[in-house]
Amino acid sequence: MQYHVCHETDVPRGEKRSYTVKNIPVVVVHSEQGEFYAIYGICPHQRSPLGEGTLVGLTEATQPGEEFGYTRAGEIIRCPWHGFGFDVKTGTCLTEPDKFRVRTYPIQVDNHEIYLEI
């Protein structure tokens, strides 16, 4: 079922906003690339509010010995308490992928309005 969350201008590019939809805390992310994502708003490690964390990218190299580049800007959310990073596309934890993950929710943008599918 789809639920209206906000207008797309309520979440500027490169930022995130916290909402509660049907008593479920969610964080809506507008990536630097212009895509919208939604993830469950509570960190599975010790239940901190992910919406208070920072939205970042990754520093990585394609091969050992190469210079590092900054990629995936605005697609990683870091827990405000312990820094666990979660991929906003998949919900996978970058530091403990076999142990932690957060649920992601499909987003629909229709006539500049954002809808969440739960």
Residue 46 CA to its chain's centroid (Å): 18
- The residue count of the chain comes to 118
Boundaries of every domain in the chain: 2-117
Instruction: For domain 2-117, say whether CATH 2.102.10.10 is its number.
Output: yes
Q: Which residues of 88-104 are buried (b: 16+ CB within 10 A; e: fewer)?
A: beebbbeeeeeebbbeb
pLDDT at 45 over 80: yes
- Listed in sequence order, the residues at least 6 apart from 70 whose beta carbon sits closer than 8 Å to its beta carbon are 57, 58, 59
Q: What is the pLDDT of residues 79-114, one digit of tens each?
A: 999 999 999 999 999 989 999 999 999 999 999 999
pLDDT band of 67, cuts 50, 70, 90: confident
| CB-CB neighbours of 16 under 10 Å | 24
Helix (H) or strand (E) holding 71: strand 69-78
